Amino acid sequence: MQRAAIAAAHQWMAPGLRSQAKGQRAFCSWDEDSVTMAVEAARDVLGTRPRDQITTLALASTTLPFADLQPTALVAGALGLARTVSTLDLGYSQRAATSGLIAAFKQADGPALFIASERPGGKPASSQEIGGGAGAAAFTLGDEGVIATLLASVSSTAMFVDHFRAEGASFDYFWEERWIRDEGYLKLVTETVKTALQQAGVAAGDVSHFVLGSPFKGVATALIKKLGIPEAAEANALQETCGYTGVAHGLLMLAHVLEQAKPGETIVLAGFGQGVDALVLRATDEIGSFAPRRGVSGALADAQIHEAYLRLLSYQGGVELEWGMRAEKTVKTAFTEQYRSSGQLASFVAGKCGCCGTVQFPQMPYCVNPACNATRSNFTPHPLFDEGAQVLTHTADWLTYHPAPPLYVGFVQFDQGARLLMEMVDVGAAGLDVGTPLRMVFRVKDIDKTRGYSRYFWKATPLQA
């Protein structure tokens, strides 16, 4: 969303927002949230790695869709992780990600997956709305292909309230920015980072990258000057292209730094929120061959540009629109069937016939190939979420209720032969055509507004926005 569009919408009552109107901010579509972003970030870092190797999964966020339903269970199911995986959810502070990452470094028993995901809210016409963003970052921890090692970590706790969000509240309440900067960041962060550097045996002048996620501009610049860290070490805060992504932002910046870091370089990552975390990392020789499938740079390059401010407001539930009677239908998830079919639905697992090789989804009692009809006992699991696919047929429906009209549906032809009627999302200005390359994304399928339950499934989207 172009910040200029946000500022223009509020010019009649908040003309001062024009000073913050540069660049753009990332925002979630109606069918995206902290769970779906976590899945997409994890898919990027896992690549083709066998999923059953992951022994621990942790997710940090303060904007999860449920108060009492474990998000990591949803994420683990979508990723196809083993049922024996240990899961942990963290929140309640903007430094939940850095605190969780430190814990993962110290406690991981086998290969671990750590994710931070956040979709911060902002009251219309606020600095949080125009300066915020939405995003997720994921890292694997282990002893193979290590691109960065932890030299030292230090944590401190202080009941310093820069902002808070009460239980059930939609938006955060912020205190005065100068107080937060001068008494919070410049004192608390400085002290903790100095201690971490001393423990790591690294001089401030030898730091190559300084990473600090903060909603306030200029804080990192002031900190590195006070610490004696070179000016060139300040990491790109992604403000002009993404916006502040809350809990996830420090790790998102770290992921971006790792795309550019060179062997031997030292990275300092700091997290702030009712105390401070400081991690000192060093890039290894392995980083020279590190190439994420998409990474932060790839995700930003694939942005769709929007200027309709009401779209953002609608997706975030900030305006109640008249959708007509078709929007009055109710959806209720049958948890019994959801559980019974979870092996297929959650991680999009088709069945491949061992007799004729036909791939089918969903898996039926018999092979759908009329020349075969082998029983299901001959099938082997065949995940579809990373399979190449293209548009076979498509239509744009303006009559059916859809939170982001029109509703695009059509048959998707997978490269290995499977064919499936699917919803297609994030269709950009180029539109769809027969043969348009597609990839699969994990999204909210529908929302039971009566009971407050989101149901998730996979959708297709064009390779390029």
The answer to whether residue 465 scores a pLDDT higher than 80 is no
Q: At 202, which amino acid appears?
A: V
Band (pLDDT 50/70/90 cuts) for residue 108 is: low
CATH number of 25-304: 3.40.47.10
pLDDT reported for residue 141: 95
355 and 374 Cβ atoms separated by less than 8 Å: yes
Long-range contacts (CB closer than 8 Å, 24 or more residues apart) made by 330-334:
330/448, 330/449, 330/450, 331/446, 331/447, 331/448, 331/455, 332/448, 332/450, 332/451, 333/448, 333/453, 333/455
pTM summary value: 0.95
Q: What is the pLDDT of residues 378-421, one digit of tens each?
A: 999 999 999 999 999 999 999 999 999 999 999 999 999 999 99
Q: What is the pLDDT of residues 338-380, one digit of tens each?
A: 999 998 999 999 999 999 999 999 999 999 999 999 999 999 9
Among residues 107, 280, 285, the alpha carbon closest in space to that of 195 is found at: 280
Q: Specify the fold of 324-348+384-462.
A: OB fold (Dihydrolipoamide Acetyltransferase, E2P) (2.40.50)
Q: Where are the domains of the chain?
A: 25-304, 324-348+384-462
